Chain A
């Protein structure tokens, strides 16, 4: 129930294309869904996050789509750039009360020039 399943494991997208990464969760108590970006040898950095009261959130080229009934959420990277090449982690957790995050298994994105 605590798992967050992430797919695909790896993704190659051409420059300018759309990168899509999907996650699914089981625990209906989760009410906070962030995405993190990690470059090799660095810690993860928060990209964008969503609460389940909205179905979509957009920040620049990054969009989270959220489907509460299906317990799924996805990250869309529009106009993907080589600098976006990194590992992306979805996560889920409680919004309040010091609750810990459960991370997905990660997606290695490579944007080819």
Chain B
């Protein structure tokens, strides 16, 4: 159980275009989803937290107009990288949690999306 599906796994786009990444909780309803960015051989950097039906909360330094997050339902959140630039190339990972209690509703991660902007 507790599967988080992320799509696509890899995407290559041209500079200036937008890319949408989907994150779905397959067998549970995700009250909260988190989006992370990970550079090679580095830790996970939290970009934003989203709760279903409300606006995402972005971490300091993350441009909300560039990284659009929509948590449309309890099983789907999307991250859209707008006007992508080569420096946006990275590994983007979503995660989801069913409840409020971390210990009993741990965070489950998708398999990530490797974005390359040419």
Enumerate chain A interface residues (CB-CB to B < 8 A): 32, 34, 36, 41-46, 49, 51, 89, 93-101, 103-106, 108
Distance in angstroms from A44 CB to nearest chain B CB is: 5
B108 within 8 A of A: yes
B49 close to A98 (CB less than 8 A): yes
B102 close to A103 (CB less than 8 A): no
Distance in angstroms from B57 CB to nearest chain A CB is: 9
18 A-B residue pairings within 8 Å (CB atoms)? A32-B102, A41-B112, A42-B111, A43-B110, A43-B112, A46-B106, A46-B107, A46-B108, A89-B44, A93-B102, A95-B101, A96-B100, A96-B101, A96-B102, A98-B32, A100-B34, A103-B43, A105-B42
How many residues on the B side are at the interface (Cβ–Cβ under 8 A)?
Answer: 27
Q: Mark B79-107, 1 if CB is under 8 A from A, else 0.
A: 00000000000000101010011110011
Which A residue sits closest to B107, measured CB to CB? A101
State A97–B109 Cα separation when bound (angstroms): 19
B46 close to A100 (CB less than 8 A): yes
A100 close to B109 (CB less than 8 A): no
B51 within 8 A of A: yes
Shortest Cβ-Cβ A-B pairs, 6 listed: A43-B109, A32-B102, A43-B111, A103-B44, A105-B43, A98-B32
B31 within 8 A of A: yes
| Residues of B contacting A100 in the complex (Cβ-Cβ under 8 angstroms) | 34, 46, 49
- Residue among A42, A100, A103 having the largest count of chain B Cβ atoms under 10 Å: A100
State A43–B111 Cα separation when bound (angstroms): 4
Which A residue sits closest to B48, measured CB to CB? A100
| Residues of B contacting A96 in the complex (Cβ-Cβ under 8 angstroms) | 100-102
State A100–B49 Cα separation when bound (angstroms): 8
State A106–B107 Cα separation when bound (angstroms): 17
B41 close to A49 (CB less than 8 A): no
Which A residue sits closest to B108, measured CB to CB? A46
| Residues of A contacting B95 in the complex (Cβ-Cβ under 8 angstroms) | 43
Question: Given the interface contacts A41-B114, A42-B112, A43-B111, does A95 sit within 8 Å of B102 by beta carbon?
Answer: yes
Which A residue sits closest to B31, measured CB to CB? A98
Distance in angstroms from B34 CB to nearest chain A CB is: 6
